[in-house]
Homo-oligomer: A and B are copies of this chain.
Amino acid sequence: MRDAYNLELDNLRAQLGDMVQLVAEAMELATRSLLHQDLETAEQVISDDVKVDDARSAAEEKAYGLLALQAPVATDLRIVVAALHAAESIERMGDLALHVAKAARRRHPEPVLPPDVRPAFERLGDVDVRLARKLERVVRGDDAEAAKSLEDDDDEVDEIHRNLFTVIMDSDWQHGVSPAVDLTLLSRFYERYADHAVSVARRMLFVVTGRMPNHSSSDV
């Protein structure tokens, strides 16, 4: 009985790991579509989002099954609830990648990004995808250490996000209001994506170790 339960729990972790893999790939492709005005890639991210939604429903049903049939208590209960929260946050990460792809599609064939901010978005994309890859390992239970460096990655995203605001609001900004508005939202999408990744990792670790990593994540 106990072994069957743990097997089911492993399956749930694997499902969530697959889901993180999907949203990591979504953000990687969305960033590519943004940097290269690549409409086909943008469309692919947009049409693939339904896979993330389906994966979330499947993970939720698995979690309900565990709760209803096995009535876990203590740490086991908290792991299942953390998985439910994780499924919601990971779906949200997919939505944020989708928003990036939609922005690329909306301006196509015009570039969304003025040349001077391209490197910043290249870095945002890199760090977000790196974060998601680490989160995948944390979720699968393969690498608890990854959670610590995940917080550092999140700090890096916050710093790029803040620097972008400085650039946009500087009197040297040559590109006018409309790109400024696009970049403000886009930068926020990357920043929220990273926040969700950290929050899932913290919650998963907390239920396993009983301790939050010694680091607080900021918002905005």
Contact surface of A with B, Cβ cutoff 8 Å: 63-64, 67-68, 71, 73-74, 77-78, 81, 84-85, 88, 95, 99, 102, 165, 168-169, 173, 176-178, 180-181, 184-185, 188, 219-220
> Is there an interface contact between A173 and B184, defined as CB atoms closer than 8 Å?
no
**Taking A64-B78, A78-B64, A88-B88 as contacts, is the C-beta distance between A99 and B181 under 8 angstroms?**
no
> Is there an interface contact between A169 and B165, defined as CB atoms closer than 8 Å?
no
Interface of A is mostly: helix
Chain B: which residue is nearest A64 at the CB level?
B77
> Is there an interface contact between B68 and A73, defined as CB atoms closer than 8 Å?
yes
The distance in angstroms between the C-alpha atoms of A68 and B74, with both chains bound, is 7
**Taking A64-B78, A95-B219 as contacts, is the C-beta distance between A177 and B169 under 8 angstroms?**
yes
Query: In the complex, how many angstroms separate the beta carbon of A99 from the nearest chain B beta carbon?
Result: 6
Q: Which residues of B contact A165 (CB under 8 A)?
A: 181
The distance in angstroms between the C-alpha atoms of A215 and B220, with both chains bound, is 31
- Pull 20 A–B residue pairs with CB atoms less than 8 Å apart, ordered by A: A64-B77, A64-B78, A64-B81, A67-B67, A71-B71, A81-B81, A84-B84, A84-B85, A85-B85, A95-B219, A102-B220, A165-B181, A169-B178, A173-B177, A177-B180, A180-B180, A180-B181, A181-B181, A184-B184, A185-B220
